[in-house]
């Protein structure tokens, strides 16, 4: 395992060995977590003064039991987060990931994130393992609910909001995967196939501790793919990756793109 602490002052040349190792890869998976959106101003979940769950107990918000016990409290919190995301913009990491398809036409993005910043940066066919905040549905009959178009008003973080009701009488719930719920089956099947058959997997901004999603880098490694991690902090993936790039995604992904371009023009 090769660990490198990256700062922009170093310049992208320090990433040339990685660009060379990736040079012959065809099937590439970029696996992302909340850290890829941190530089867009969207809070991560764990570890940090501003992390969502330093402020809110997960069990109080991110379970079906919490929603059934108090739908307005949970819906209000997710409406607040949906409004924050609608105001955010993709950052240089999202843009660089979208641009990586110039080098790897078969690249696919598999994200745990419930925001749409990869799509807004230009990535296509993104797999959302934990759903999307803008795809709410009825809790009872699963009928899709369409939010009003445009940027929603920004409510206070902790103010309860009564969820809309479906024609069947059920409450509308956020279109995300809560603890104890299964991941969308087709998306999970597609993600395991991609991770199990890729040449390289780049894990960006995830603590890699929520399962089953966290199996994906481990699956890629067990199939001899090159596994690269981008994260400013240590994670449980450190031992399993070939290249461990410590730093911010918004610095490292553009530098990796530049190193790949440099490597290509030199060959
Ligand atoms: C930067 C950065 C920068 C900062 N640049 N990086 C085995 C053992 C024990 C429990 C389980 C187990 N297997 C399954 C479970 C249960 C559970 C689970 O995994 N629990 C763990 C906590 C142990 N899993 C489930 O329940 C899953 N379902 C399931 O297993 O179904 C089968 C089943 C059915 C019935 C009973 C039991 C099992 C579902 C998991 C759903 C997760 N949902 C959430 C919430 C979504 C809704 C919402 O948004 O509110 O998804 S949880 C939350 O964590 C969210 C995320 O997608 C997910 C992953 O978090 P992520 O993205 O890694 O964020 P962080 O905050 O953890 O990390 C951010 C990282 O970024 C950090 O490392 C920073 O350093 C870094 N960073 N700035 C780069 N600028
Ligand atoms: Zn319904």
Mean pLDDT within 231-247: 94
Provide the pLDDT for residue 59.
72
Tell me, using a 6 A CB cutoff, whether residue 38 lines ligand 1: yes
**Six-digit token pair at 130?**
């934990």
Tell me, using a 6 A CB cutoff, whether residue 37 lines ligand 1: no
Tell me, using a 6 A CB cutoff, whether residue 130 lines ligand 1: yes
Provide the pLDDT for residue 207.
96
The model's pTM is: 0.96
**For residue 5, what is the enclosing H or E element?**
strand 2-5
Q: What is the pLDDT of residues 125-139, one digit of tens each?
A: 999 999 999 999 999
What is the DSSP track for 104-152?
-TT-EEEE--SS-HHHHHT--S-EETTB-TT--EETTT--B-PPPSSPP
Cα(185) to ligand 2 centroid in Å equals 21
Average pLDDT, whole number, for the chain? 94
Tell me, using a 6 A CB cutoff, whether residue 177 lines ligand 1: yes
Cα(194) to ligand 1 centroid in Å equals 20
pLDDT of residue 55 exceeding 80: no
Catalytic, out of 12, 128, 130, 248:
130
Provide the pLDDT for residue 215.
98
Q: Are 129 and 191 in contact (CB under 8 A)?
A: yes
User: Can you give 72-100 as a three-state secondary structure string?
Assistant: HHHHHHHHHHHHHHHHCCCCHHHHHHHHH
Mean pLDDT within 33-49: 92
Residue 149: band (very low, low, confident or very high) from pLDDT cuts 50, 70, 90: confident
Tell me, using a 6 A CB cutoff, whether residue 233 lines ligand 1: yes
Cα(179) to ligand 2 centroid in Å equals 22
Cα(102) to ligand 1 centroid in Å equals 30
> How many percent of the chain have pLDDT more than 70?
99
Pocket test for ligand 1, best of 45, 113, 233, 234 (most atoms within 8 A of CB): 45
> How many percent of the chain have pLDDT more than 90?
84
Tell me, using a 6 A CB cutoff, whether residue 68 lines ligand 1: no
**Six-digit token pair at 110?**
């598999």
Provide the pLDDT for residue 37.
98
Provide the pLDDT for residue 53.
78
Closest residue to atom 56 of ligand 1, CA basis: 112
Check the CA dihedral 159-164-169-174 and report its sign. negative
Provide the pLDDT for residue 31.
98
Q: Note if 103 is an active site residue.
A: no
């Amino acid at each position: 395992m090769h660990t490198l602490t990256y700062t922009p002052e170093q310049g992208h040349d320090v990433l040339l060995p990685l660009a060379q190792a990736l040079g012959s890869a065809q099937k590439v998976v970029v696996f992302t977590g909340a850290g890829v959106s941190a530089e867009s101003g969207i809070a991560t979940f764990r570890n940090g003064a501003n992390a969502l769950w330093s402020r809110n107990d997960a069990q109080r918000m991110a379970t079906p039991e919490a929603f059934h016990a108090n739908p307005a409290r949970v819906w209000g919190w997710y409406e607040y987060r949906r409004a924050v995301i609608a105001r955010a913009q993709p950052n240089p990491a999202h843009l660089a990931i979208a641009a990586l398809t110039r080098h790897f036409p078969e690249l696919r993005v598999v994200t745990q994130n419930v925001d749409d910043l990869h799509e807004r940066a230009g990535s296509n066919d993104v797999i959302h393992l934990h759903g999307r905040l803008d795809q709410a549905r009825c809790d009872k009959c699963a009928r899709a609910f369409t939010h009003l178009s445009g940027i929603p008003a920004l409510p206070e973080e902790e103010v309860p909001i009564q969820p809309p009701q479906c024609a069947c009488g059920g409450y509308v719930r956020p279109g995300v995967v809560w603890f104890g719920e299964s991941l969308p089956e087709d998306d999970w099947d597609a993600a395991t196939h991609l991770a199990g058959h890729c040449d390289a997997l780049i894990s960006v901004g995830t603590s890699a501790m929520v399962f089953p999603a966290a199996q994906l880098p481990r699956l890629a490694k067990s199939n001899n793919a090159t596994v690269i991690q981008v994260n400013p902090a240590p994670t449980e993936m450190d031992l399993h990756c070939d290249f461990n790039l410590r730093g911010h995604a918004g610095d490292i992904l553009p530098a990796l793109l530049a190193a790949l371009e440099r490597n290509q023009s030199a060959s």
